[in-house]
Chains A and B, each alone.
Chain A
Amino acid sequence: MSARVLGLAQLLVAFAAYAQGEADAGVEFIEEVEVVDVDDVNPGYTPSEEQSHEALRFTGYVDVGFAKATGDGTSFAPNDTRAPLDYGVDPFATAVNSRGDVASTESGGRFTNGFLPRSVGLGGNAGFLLNTASVDVRFQPRGVPLFVFARAQLMPRFSPSGDQTRIELQQAFGRLSPFASQELALFVGRFDSVFGIEYLENEANLRTGITPSLIARYTTGHGLGAKAFYRVQIPSVMSAVSVNIAATNHGTRIEALVPIDASLMGVPVGSGRLGYELNLQHVQAKVGVSGLYGPRNDQRSPGARQMAFGADARLTVAGFSVAGEILRLVDEHGPNAGKFTGQGLAELASGFDVWGGWARLAYTLPWKSAVLTGLTVYGRYDRRHATFEGNVTVRTQRFTVGARIDLYDLLALKAEGLFNDELGGAPTVDNDVFTASAVVTW
């Protein structure tokens, strides 16, 4: 057991002991299940202050999955000997859970260059997964506009060296809301992205479906730095305008691709979103534009920048919800040898250009009961065109269909099919996925 694993195990034991102590003292430690309305949490998945009745609370969820990918679980063709192998395909296609982990990244000894998601090690086999065990700690002293939040997650995975449990301190931040009369919140620490809208569904218990889109890798990473959220309501036109800006070490990419915990350049990456929302009685519409600019944080070279632009829209009416997002992102060539990623050191930081997007239609049945608290069916279309400097443009699309059943507001049962399609630049491979997930929130 690594020191990190041991450390977190000790932390969890301490949590459990504390909870038991509180229960023994007659205090109901877990007083209710907290269901956060995604549309109400633009600053990220952060509980509102009204929901924090106690100064210190523990919540979380457990996501158990079952998945089967066709082929060998990767997007690598068996006869492909190009170098690097991950430049000519989309290694993220075979996602099996809400983290975007894929069935396999096993390259068979062929060279890859750090453009890989994390893997659950299933390969082409069907199997159960403990996708995430997530623990939240939140603290809000009474009478003070401060809020502290931390989320630790455990991800048991099989790797070539055997079973390992990775631990990630996914969020840890302090939030100051200085004005009671204003929707202004200032954050420092590690927190949700501010780019686009998909980060709002990062957690398995919040995501309508199971797997993230093909562009989630660029927009849903948790940044370390500072951010500010401000929203002004305009009641006369039933509207609101919001601004969410951040300065972080790495930008908005997921941690598997870029290191987050240190700024390799000493200059932060700026990102932000400007949003407008219209809140009518039966119709809700939200649109936004996002941007990102700064040094790419995978090298210590001042000349290489990353930049991105995105737009998003959501419409909810009569049980139907339509959402979509588009993205264009460019990485300049990193001139140094070596490229840092969240998973280790790669060889070179190539220039990169990608555009893509997704659109999702979901329908939630209008009736509920004490047991069945939600039933949603959905379909999503993804498209991605990506080019590493001097390499072929890989054009892919994906059709996703699925359903979600919520029971007791505690348990979400989800099933999803992913149908990946190589349109050009990459060889056609068997890389469709069936995945299911049971998420228990506590």
Chain B
Amino acid sequence: MRRHAGWGILALVTVACAPPAGPNAMAWTVEDFLANSPAMAEFGGWRANELVTLTGEPIPFRSSPHAAAETRQGPGYGLTVFPAFSDGQPAAFVITEIWLEHPTPWVQPAWIAVSEFLPGFPPSAQVPGTQSVFPVGVDSTFYTPFWRGTYVLAPGAKKDTFKSAAAILEARLPTQEGSVLFCPIAPADGGAAVAAGETDPVHPWLLAADVGVDGGAMPVRQFGTSSAWVDGDEVAYLGGGEDRVLEADQLPVEAPLYTFASRGADGGLAILSIPAVLPPDPFRSSFVRRTDVELPASGAVFVPGDRPALAAALAARGVAVVSPDVDPSSARVRLGAVIADARCLAPDAGFSGCAFLDSASAIERLNRGLVHRTETTLAIDVVQVGGRTQR
């Protein structure tokens, strides 16, 4: 018995002597969002079901509390189309990866077989039937959605000529580097959220006419899905396009994503479910850092009167809400926008004379005590800005 007690004391001593562990470096992909959506696990400030919607589930920002009726996801999974502002214009983005307390993900090569090198970009079209080759998949500690397009001169290549990084490197073929590609590895049966009965993803509440474009709901860019090789296995990826991020020393250049937040009972900041603010040059800022912004003391969120559930939800978080009468189009454009100083509002004057926190420059002029850099970084695809989409 005494012997057992001795081991117990030893165990206690060793546990007590153990230094405190540092924060864990976490990385989550679309696969993780999907696997954890039913359990609503939290990833860097967002719950999984706020990031992705499974078939038949209500789509965030198109359902309560943001809308009176529920809009449900159609076939396949749907990445949430988050409303945002960019330099004063309404915009939208989706989140494909989240890192917490994690080093900046590296830009890895993605090899693409081409038949010839041409001047300019792209150097040539991919050899028909071939697939890109990625050196790592989502299981790697060094997974990234950012790939340096590396064109390999292999005019005779077939689909399975090169199925791994080693095969490409061993072939020692001429290569030419291209731009950085944004291609998150993700299951093929999804993309940006598309409601049941609809064919394309749309901005949660904006109409095309609100930004001077013909049409009904404001469409946003949808991912194309393709397949690639990773160490002999085929994986699906979402084609986010070229030049979506600047690169320096094989690392993506980081930009701030301003997310409005309020303090909870524990004093911590929690993201408010209102439009975020994109960094300057949003189409080339796919690697962003969550940067929380507290509302100024006299600030308030604009919520039109026809969305009482959203107003109530924000009020319950201690956020001031204002609902001046404005025309419907302005109401959709400004829905969820933060007014820097709500004392600007005057009866029957709408927003005139008010300044919004709807651009990176406006937020950078705020008291720095209200802006909080977090340890969460994200890969995002900006799918619409003021009616424009990147190819």
Contacts and interface: CB of A to CB of B under 8 A. Distances in A.
Interface of A: 77, 79-84, 87-88, 110-111, 113, 264-267, 299-303, 333, 335-338, 347-348, 350-351, 388-392, 422, 424-428
B109 A337 contact: no
6 contacts: A266-B18, A335-B21, A336-B21, A336-B23, A351-B141, A427-B170
A264 B19 CA distance: 7
Contact of A265 (B18, B148, B172): B18
B22 A301 contact: yes
A330 to B, nearest CB: 15
A267 B18 contact: yes
A337 B22 contact: yes
Contact of B106 (A83, A351, A389, A422): A83
Nearest to B100: A337
A388 B141 contact: yes
A348 B141 CA distance: 7
B142 A300 contact: no
Contacts of B140: 350, 388-391
A335 B231 contact: no
Contact of A267 (B14, B21, B22, B137): B14
A256 B178 CA distance: 36
Contacts of B101: 337
Interface string B163-203: 01110011010010000000000000000000000000000
Nearest to A427: B169
Contacts of B148: 81
Contacts of B25: 335-337, 348
B250 to A, nearest CB: 6
Nearest to B25: A337
A113 B106 CA distance: 12
A265 B169 CA distance: 40
B138 interface: yes
The 6 lowest CB-CB distance pairs between A and B, nearest first, are A390-B140, A390-B139, A427-B169, A83-B106, A266-B17, A337-B25
B151 to A, nearest CB: 12
A195 to B, nearest CB: 22
Nearest to A425: B166
Contacts of B107: 83
Contact of A82 (B22, B108, B143): B108
Interface of B: 14, 17-26, 101-103, 106-109, 135-143, 148, 150, 164-166, 169-170, 172, 175, 231, 250
B21 A300 contact: yes
Given A82-B108, A337-B102, A350 B24 contact: no
Most buried by A among B14, B135, B169, B231: B169
Given A88-B135, A390-B139, A390-B140, A266 B24 contact: no
A266 to B, nearest CB: 4
A325 to B, nearest CB: 27
A337 B24 CA distance: 7
Given A81-B109, A266-B19, A389 B170 contact: no
B42 to A, nearest CB: 17
A385 to B, nearest CB: 14
A79 B175 contact: yes
Nearest to A336: B22
B21 A426 contact: no
Contacts of A111: 106, 250
A110 B148 CA distance: 14
Contacts of B17: 266-267
A397 B178 CA distance: 35
A291 B140 CA distance: 27
A186 to B, nearest CB: 18
Contacts of B135: 82, 88, 391-392
A335 B24 CA distance: 5
A246 B38 CA distance: 47
A80 B142 contact: no
Given A265-B18, A302-B21, A391-B231, 20 more contacts: A77-B169, A81-B108, A82-B109, A88-B135, A110-B250, A266-B19, A267-B14, A337-B102, A337-B103, A348-B141, A350-B140, A351-B141, A389-B139, A389-B140, A389-B141, A390-B137, A390-B138, A390-B139, A391-B142, A427-B170
A424 B166 contact: yes
A79 B172 CA distance: 8
A67 to B, nearest CB: 26
Contacts of B170: 427-428
A111 B22 CA distance: 24
A411 B101 CA distance: 55
B166 A427 contact: yes
A265 B22 CA distance: 11
Contacts of A77: 169
A25 B141 CA distance: 64
Given A392-B164, A427-B170, A428-B170, A338 B141 contact: no
Contacts of B109: 81-82
B141 A336 contact: no
A392 B141 CA distance: 12
Contact of A83 (B108, B137, B231): B108
Given A81-B150, A391-B140, A302 B169 contact: no
A299 B175 CA distance: 38
A87 B166 CA distance: 12
Contacts of A428: 170
Contacts of B18: 265-267, 302
Most buried by B among A110, A347, A390: A390
A351 B139 CA distance: 10
Contacts of B136: 82, 390-391
Contacts of A350: 140-142
B142 A87 contact: yes
Contacts of A300: 19-22
B232 to A, nearest CB: 9
A72 to B, nearest CB: 15
A275 to B, nearest CB: 27
A113 B231 CA distance: 20
A301 B166 contact: no
Nearest to B109: A81
A362 to B, nearest CB: 34
A168 B167 CA distance: 41
A333 B14 CA distance: 22
Contacts of B20: 300
A337 B23 contact: yes
Most buried by B among A82, A265, A301: A82
A266 B21 CA distance: 11
Nearest to B232: A392
B139 A392 contact: no
A301 B166 CA distance: 33
A392 to B, nearest CB: 5
Most buried by B among A79, A88, A301, A426: A79
Contacts of B143: 390
A194 to B, nearest CB: 21
A348 B103 contact: yes
Contacts of A302: 18, 21
Nearest to B148: A81
A338 B22 CA distance: 10
A88 B24 contact: no
B141 A82 contact: no
A430 to B, nearest CB: 12
Contacts of A299: 22
A424 B165 CA distance: 11
A390 B141 contact: yes
A428 B107 CA distance: 23
